[in-house]
Amino acid sequence: MKLKIGEIAKRSRVPASTIRYYVSEGLLPRPEKVNEKMAYYDEACIDRLRAIQELKGKRYFPLYLIKNILRRMDEGLSLLEAETVENAVFNLEDPTGHGLLDRQAFLEATGLTETQLRKAEKLGVMIPFTTGTDKPLYNEEDVRIGRDGIRPLIDLGRDQAELSFWVELGKKIVEKEMALRRKIVAGKSTRENILITTELTRIGEFYRGYILKRLFQKQVQLNIQKSLKKRKKAKAGIQR
């Protein structure tokens, strides 16, 4: 059934101005225009608007992620399934219940200055959880990186640029992961592609942490062994 925007607004409890904005952002399909002043929207827009308000108001999802979820729903997934995929890929779960922080709240939580944050973002050692058309928002992971990673380094008198190797090497790892995903999903259906991508995301997140941790531990062990050998040789030389 085709409805005027006033009826859509009334039944969805979303203002007409917001509905037009969602249309311009691609979250809702464009209405069928009869003339310059008259247009009709599909009744399905009401359920879509309710989904948008649920994700935006209760989940604090930015519009670009909501657009991803709606796209997945258009491909046949339920709202719960589509949201699960985004949670897996973007780690949207917020166990603290704090939600996302705007820039000022982030600065207060981390102790960073505006200048320090701008430099971190320019270098890529700080990547806001959301960017794009929305104002940048930061999650708990961003806060930990700013507060427990970047800020202590600055307090030690070091330059943030010394962390840039993480970005350079990280990009190479991500490129390899994307190439592997493309090989695995080749020829799969949309639903299979989504499910496989979700599972590969979980595997990749686990494996990145596992490999880096183990490599670091092994290197520390080697350094300790080398140090002990040097001490042993030095001690033997003194005793002679």
Boundaries of every domain in the chain: 2-61+68-75
Encode pLDDT of 42-94 as tens digits.
998 999 999 888 887 766 677 777 888 888 888 777 787 777 777 766 665 55
Give the tokens for residue 73: 């729903």
Dihedral sign (CA 103, 109, 114, 115): negative
Give the tokens for residue 173: 């790892």
Q: 2-61+68-75 maps to which CATH number?
A: 1.10.1660.10
Task: For the chain, 240 residues long, give each residue's pLDDT as a single digit of tens.
Answer: 789 999 999 999 999 999 999 999 889 999 998 887 788 999 989 999 998 888 877 666 777 778 888 888 887 777 877 777 777 666 655 544 446 788 999 999 999 999 999 999 999 999 988 765 457 888 888 999 999 999 999 999 999 999 999 999 999 999 999 999 999 999 998 778 878 888 888 899 899 999 999 999 999 999 999 988 888 777 777 666
In terms of pTM, does the model score above 0.85?
Answer: no
Distance CA(20)–CA(5), nearest Å, equals 9
What is the structure's pLDDT at 62?
Answer: 73
The most distant pair of C-alpha atoms in the chain lies apart, rounded to whole Å, by 102
Enumerate residues 6+ apart whose C-beta is below 8 A from 45: 3, 8, 12, 19, 28, 29
What is the structure's pLDDT at 151?
Answer: 95
